[in-house]
Structure 1
């Protein structure tokens, strides 16, 4: 009779942790940091799949690792936020509550299933001032950390965090904060340790804009992102319903109020070639 292989619980946990860390390290990194106008979320992304998304009015989501796994977590977070907002009040939906829910979910998956999730996520909530912004890092094993204004995720998180720590400024404008985030992402992954150059097509960028009413999440792409990377000024698109958002419609042309088919033509000979209605053409 074959003997069953035995591994201590400590060894099982170490193996799972190593497996998850290796899976996360294979992906590209992401950076989240605060600035004067809100919270900036930047991810190196060469695909059309989203690593950065909105969870609720003032709450954003960023992740690295396996897409199918963190996408299922994102959807669950959106459902939870919507249900709580409808059952209670929109102000009762907080980043801390969502981070706690993710902690419990990932902790249960790590402890009870054969394969842990290969993900690392950030739940960010923008406040009324930079001091009230909240950044929560949740790792594959359910651990949660409250980050002090900036964080990097992925296999090269430590090297990127070193760049961010030396120059992060909560009073910086969006262009300066974006330049710092891109510099941190580009500082790793180059040949022989040399910095890379990242263009707009290689980045996914979004902000939680504290100056917006209602939903604060806003993506930055295309020409607007290129302008910011070149040091230009951020020009957010106007919200739907703002004055000047659309030009007033031109006055419509006057239309007839009576159908042409309803005009009484009885007794009128509209076509000279045809006889009147009361004449058959033969004099009868």
Structure 2
């Protein structure tokens, strides 16, 4: 009788982590950073139907890179969790930390399961507070680890290079125009040291959690002419109200955290 092939648990976990990491790296990056009035989300995304950034609840937003169908399952689960908890208890009981814990349990269970592959996703869950000191940003990795981030974070693509750039140029108290310019410049950089690309409004997906918004829902997308004016440096454009979107249903048409266009294997194509 032949001896069964043996792989140590440490090696098996390392192989699964490497598999997930390679899938995530093929996606274009998402940048999240704070500014004086809230939290800004910027993603390279040419699709107006498949979003990388989505609203989860009143003050909570979700961003992700990786496989679209896996994003969407997690987004839908997050919306259902938030709706159920807010209805059963109180809307104030729905927090980014609670949602991050739920996602961590789900991702950790899938990652350690022998019967299925790990999710090829990396998530960001953010909540805007009454002041900038109350803002919360959590990054979740495929193995279910949760990292409490401060000020700025990037996932997918050239995350290390973009993260270093943001760390050097992001500062507290930036206006929306300043934060947007830093985020776009970071996404446009060539990691090999070449000339930066020029990213147009049509290539970007931008949203904010705006603490100054009088509505209970603090999430809004920055679209069209308003985005173009912000990119040109027009500070007054930050006060323009973006068109209200209907709340993103848990089981309606997809408005979840998706890539610009998915490849044949369901993974985002690599960036330029």
TM over 0.5: yes
* Counterparts of 1:181 and 1:30, CA distance in 2: 9
Match for residue 214 of structure 1? 216
* Counterparts of 1:164 and 1:34, CA distance in 2: 11
Match for residue 237 of structure 1? 241
Match for residue 259 of structure 1? none
Give matches, 1:191-206, under 5 Å: 193-206=194-207
Match for residue 228 of structure 2? 226
Instruction: Mark the CA change 1:185 to 1:115 in structure 2 (over 3 Å): closer, same or farther.
Output: same
Match for residue 252 of structure 2? none
Alpha-carbon offset, residue 168 of structure 1: 1.0
**Count of residues in Structure 1 that have an aligned counterpart in Structure 2:** 239
Answer yes or no: is the 8 Å Cα contact 1:134–1:149 preserved in 2. no
SS of 2:64 mapped into structure 1: strand
Instruction: Mark the CA change 1:202 to 1:238 in structure 2 (over 3 Å): closer, same or farther.
Output: closer
* Counterparts of 1:24 and 1:224, CA distance in 2: 31
Match for residue 95 of structure 2? 94
* Counterparts of 2:109 and 2:190, CA distance in 1: 33
- 1:189-246 CA-to-partner distances (Å, cap 9, x unmatched) read 67x6331111111110000000113000000111111111111121332788xxxxxx
Answer yes or no: is the 8 Å Cα contact 1:189–1:196 preserved in 2. no
Match for residue 14 of structure 1? 14
SS of 1:193 mapped into structure 2: coil
* Counterparts of 2:56 and 2:175, CA distance in 1: 24
- 1:79-102 CA-to-partner distances (Å, cap 9, x unmatched) read 000000000000010000000000
TM-score (normalised: structure 2): 0.84
Match for residue 24 of structure 1? 24
Answer yes or no: is the 8 Å Cα contact 1:178–1:229 preserved in 2. yes
* Counterparts of 1:238 and 1:185, CA distance in 2: 23
Structure number with bigger Rg: 1
TM-score (normalised: structure 1): 0.81
- 1:74-130 CA-to-partner distances (Å, cap 9, x unmatched) read 110000000000000000100000000001000000001431000000000000111
Match for residue 277 of structure 1? none
Alpha-carbon offset, residue 188 of structure 1: 3.3
* Counterparts of 1:182 and 1:80, CA distance in 2: 32
Match for residue 63 of structure 1? 64
Match for residue 178 of structure 1? 180
- Pick the aligned partner of 1:154 from 142, 149, 156: 156
- Higher RCO, 1 vs 2 (CA within 8 Å, ≥6 residues apart): 2
* Counterparts of 2:6 and 2:212, CA distance in 1: 57
* Counterparts of 2:119 and 2:194, CA distance in 1: 30
Alpha-carbon offset, residue 3 of structure 1: 4.7
Answer yes or no: is the 8 Å Cα contact 1:35–1:170 preserved in 2. yes
Match for residue 166 of structure 2? 164
* Counterparts of 1:92 and 1:211, CA distance in 2: 21
* Counterparts of 1:103 and 1:26, CA distance in 2: 22
- 1:253-281 CA-to-partner distances (Å, cap 9, x unmatched) read xxxxxxxxxxxxxxxxxxxxxxxxxxxxx
* Counterparts of 1:35 and 1:122, CA distance in 2: 17
SS of 1:214 mapped into structure 2: coil
